[in-house]
A and B are shown apart, each in its own frame.
Chain A
Amino acid sequence: MSIFDDIRSAVVALDADKAESLTSEALAADEDPLKVLNDGVIKGIREIGGKFEQGEYFLAELIQGADIGKSCIDIVTPHLPKAAVARQKKVVMATVRGDIHTLGKDLVSLMLRISGFDVVDLGSDVPTMTIIDEAEKVGADIIGLSALMMTTMPNQAETIKYLNDMGLRDKYRVMVGGGSTTQGWAEMIGADGWAPTAAAAVALAEKLTS
């Protein structure tokens, strides 16, 4: 097995110490940082995502995997040529005002992180203007809005209305999701997309930013 395979295996095994030390060792041995990143770390975290979808890994493993991936990427990034450091697409995620349910939104945030997005997760019960202010502040590409309840779904629509009224709608792709939402709802409120699962949300985010 190559050092890249070893890094990938350590990431998949959720062995943070080993993954970080192997990443450092590979860089010290003058291995190509891009290969360390793509064939080792990122391959590993994508495999974690796959295991989640197959029901082999769960939320706890995703949290650990995302943390390990981030610390390994932080080790590699200073060694990458400037031209190779692509700007990560930014997603501002929030469960809208009045809704305290977070599990689905947390899962989407984790899956997006694992898939290479820079996610700013604002948490739950987030006022509409806080979401928009944060999107403006970080220069988001996507705004992701979660709502579990029928009574909080209108606050997804409100965010889009505000973006329209403020003349900001074209700056962002808006995706919506959550227990009671549907494709029809997303179309009705003028969202750019709807996803029924976390994996579908990642595919949608990739499509919206491609």
Chain B
Amino acid sequence: MIGISDYIEASTEGPILTESEFDLRYSKKVRELASDFGVEYNPDEVVPDDKTANSIFEAGVELLASVGLYNKDSRRVIELGKKQVMEVAGSRLHSITFGVGFDAVTIKERRPSDSFPPVLWLGPVCPLMEETYVSACLSFLKIPENQGILGGFLIAAEGFENKSGYPHELIVTAKEIVLNKEAIRRAGRPGLFHCVAASAVTPAANFNVFGPGVCCPQTGSIPIQVMPELKINWDKLTLAIFCQQHNIHPFTDGMGVIGGYARNPGESAITLVANILANWGFSHASNAVAWSTDMKGHWTAKKPILWTNSAVVKALDLNVGNPMYSFGTALAGPMTEMALLESAAYSVAYPAAGIELILGGACGNGADVDYTAGLHGQMAVDVTKVASGLPRDEANELVNKIVSQYDDKYDNPPRGVTYQECYDTVKIEPKPEFVALYDKVKDDLGRMGVPFS
């Protein structure tokens, strides 16, 4: 079967193309495949049917086998045959265990109709000040159903601003892991998976968080991403080699931009499937985040994004059956009705697509310093618990009702308040007015049809 050595060889021997030649070749092919396979975005059904999901998978395989993967550094195309792509798809694990001891969690295959909820890893996923970091993480760790901590982006530590590509990055990202570990220790869950160093970009910074006092392969990982659209560089292969030599299961994702070279959600979903299959071929991972954004850089609970992520999750679940993830992120900020509704929308949609794990709870598109609150993760817990197992039609109808409450606010979403403004940061408890808003939104969701009782 194809492996990383083939990618390295192809990156040094494969056909040379300019990046724009590759972009045009890819762009033309994905349009052709979307048309041939009849893949179309349907805003009324954010969780597509099996036929659409299967078409997306087939088109994704064809896309990768037709245009390959581009190494931006060597400017060469890594060509993959259809047989090789199918071998990659057919050899993924169906479950993965993260964490140690009592805190270990096994992420196992689930189907769209399964009534058990997906695993939830909840956390701030936004820039954080050092003094806020542990408390903000604890607001998510107090939720018993949260089975892994997603940290934040520490913006500075020990007097150094976090700057990618500089020594500063190593100092700050190592501190980030230390703070993650402090948070899980204080939560009484020391064996919990604490994911990746969110701020680490370069290989050096990612390698630096593995070792004594920081991460071990059971509790941490390294992100390996195929860039939009169908591109890697030497760093990605370097990260994969490190993971393979240190027994680390990489945290992989395929990222797609709706409205870029992929014109619409249909083309973006096909591309994401190809991205993820290409990633597994060299990262040897069995998990992936379906991560789509729009041209505004939003990766939130907008319908085109919910559809694309759901379609990719379902396409890979039906045809591969490995653990698939997606981000649950709100565009609006903390302690706003819109952000709570957004959390509910992805928590209805993704389980109905068959997702195994939701990386949830983030607010404000993950962009504002200290704009986070654990209660948004609680909404994901409460809704996935009752919405998992809903038939696709019911889930889609429910998402339509929820999204209609906020889809006129994308251009000017409410910014909300900081963590310090909506939580007692010492007791790690939401302020009474936040709890009242939460209860009100939950009542509203119940009236819309979320089966809380």
A interface, CB within 8 angstroms of B:
55, 58-60, 63-64, 97-101, 103-104, 107, 124-125, 148-152, 154-155, 158, 179-180
Contact = CB atoms under 8 A, between A and B. Distances in A.
A151 B162 CA distance: 6
Label chain A's interface by main secondary structure.
loop
B169 A98 contact: yes
Interface string B158-181: 000111111001000000000000
Contacts of B202: 98
A92 to B, nearest CB: 18
Contacts of B169: 98, 151
A151 B367 CA distance: 11
Interface string B13-49: 0000000100110011000000000000000000000
B35 to A, nearest CB: 15
A179 to B, nearest CB: 4
Label chain B's interface by main secondary structure.
loop
A155 B27 contact: no
| A55, A64, A179 pick with most chain B CB within 10 angstroms | A179
28 contacts: A58-B263, A59-B27, A59-B260, A59-B261, A60-B23, A60-B261, A63-B23, A98-B164, A98-B166, A98-B169, A98-B201, A100-B227, A103-B257, A103-B260, A103-B261, A107-B260, A124-B72, A125-B165, A148-B297, A150-B367, A151-B153, A151-B169, A154-B161, A154-B162, A155-B163, A155-B165, A179-B297, A179-B367
Contacts of A97: 164-166
Given A60-B24, A155-B165, A179-B297, A100 B233 contact: yes
Contacts of B155: 150
Interface string B259-277: 1110100000000000000
B228 interface: yes
B347 interface: no
A154 B235 CA distance: 22
B127 interface: yes
A58 B297 CA distance: 16
B165 A98 contact: yes
B256 to A, nearest CB: 10
B163 A151 contact: yes
A155 B169 CA distance: 12
A148 B133 CA distance: 22
Interface in B224-239: 227-228, 233, 235
A64 B20 CA distance: 9
Nearest to B152: A150
Leading 8 A-B pairs by shortest Cβ distance: A98-B164, A98-B165, A60-B27, A179-B297, A151-B164, A97-B165, A154-B163, A58-B263
